[in-house]
Amino acid sequence: MNISDIHRFINESAKDSTEEFKRLFHGRGGLYEGWKHLTIDSIDDVLSVALYFKESSESELLDMLTAFVKNSRYKTLVVQKRYMQGSPSDILVGELTDDVYVIENGIKIKLNLLSNKNSGYFPDMKNGREFVKENSKDKRVLNLFSYTCAFSLAAKFGGAYEVVNVDMNKNVLKTGMENHALNNLEPRGVGFLSYNILKSFSSLRRKGPYDLIIIDPPTFQRGSFEATKDYEKIIKKLSQIASEDCILLSCLNSPELESEFILNMIKEWAPDFEFIQRLENVKEFASVDENTSLKNLVFKRSIVTK
């Protein structure tokens, strides 16, 4: 696939794009040889490009994208060079306001497109959020590793009775609060707790039990969480915080770890949780190996009484 092919690909992908977020090109999945470093997203009238490492074709690619935007409905082209640590994103066409947000199934989520880190939104988790929305009615929801609280938005739109968001980072929780205000959601019944999850189970237990628990941790975060050794610690505590018929959404986005990593932990440390299904991934995020792509596993607790 060459740059002309990329142009044709995104031109076709963009034809049915709307104000809602859409990934136009997903090189990260490894399906397009030579383009694993590239993603292109449609965000209303903004074309957002992420480059994960530098290639010799970068200048030619950016020239093509600049011309594409200038001859399309898009007004802004922003390029995030993830390989340049600490470098802000470049606006090659147009401008960005301070109140940029993405729309997903009618839900608004604030974005920071000028950072070269995470924008505040993980689009590949769309189906997970839809599942939460569909299964939150009248439930008490625990959102662990909540980040900017997108799962909380989905739960509240789904009619959750209460949502408890937990994350160590106070700044992302503040953005989570702003996301709730952006969507005109009633703040009553939504909590934002700046806790170290691995050290806070006694506090979480007092606020429970929870009818729907979401575990969506980073694969590795220096000094706070490492999936290979810390995920198990949460699974071991599930019975202390879960209601008798609790639904669990257990997430993992590590290409080095497959579904069995979670399935085996549940079987050993939380055997009263029955595996129900692995949610399908968003089709625009297809991967050359779906076994190692994003894993959203659903479990249901069932306690047998004698």
Per-residue model confidence as pLDDT tens for the chain (306 residues): 899 999 999 999 999 999 999 999 999 999 999 999 999 999 999 999 999 999 999 999 999 999 999 999 999 999 999 988 877 889 999 999 888 999 999 999 999 998 767 889 999 999 999 999 999 999 999 999 999 999 999 999 999 999 999 999 999 999 999 999 999 998 899 999 999 998 889 999 999 899 999 999 987 666 678 888 899 999 999 999 999 999 999 999 888 889 999 999 999 999 999 999 999 999 999 999 888 899 999 999 987 654
Residues 233 and 289 in one domain: yes
Q: Count H helices and E strands in the chain, helices first.
A: 8, 16
Residue with tokens 């055997």: 271
Tokens encoding 232 = 């198990």
Residues 271 and 151 in one domain: yes
* pTM of the entire predicted model: 0.93
Q: Look at residue 53 in the predicted model and tell me its pLDDT.
A: 92
**117 within some domain:** no
- Domain boundary residue, one of 79, 110, 141: 110
Residues 194 and 228 in one domain: yes
Residues 196 and 246 in one domain: yes
**236 within some domain:** yes
Residues 205 and 151 in one domain: yes
Q: Look at residue 114 in the predicted model and tell me its pLDDT.
A: 87
Residues 89 and 134 in one domain: no
Residues 99 and 156 in one domain: no
Residues 133 and 83 in one domain: no
**97 within some domain:** yes
Tokens encoding 123 = 């689009």
- Structural domain range at position 189: 123-301
CATH number at residue 41: 3.30.750.80
**254 within some domain:** yes
Q: Are 16 and 9 in contact (CB under 8 A)?
A: no
Cα separations (Å) of 161 from 104, 142, 212, 295? 22, 11, 11, 27
Q: How far apart are CA 164 and CA 156, in angstroms?
A: 11
Q: Look at residue 220 in the predicted model and tell me its pLDDT.
A: 64
Q: Look at residue 218 in the predicted model and tell me its pLDDT.
A: 82
Backbone φ and ψ of 281, nearest 5°: -85, 155
Backbone φ and ψ of 168, nearest 5°: -70, -30
Residue 235, burial from CB neighbour count under 10 angstroms (0-12, 13-18, 19+): buried
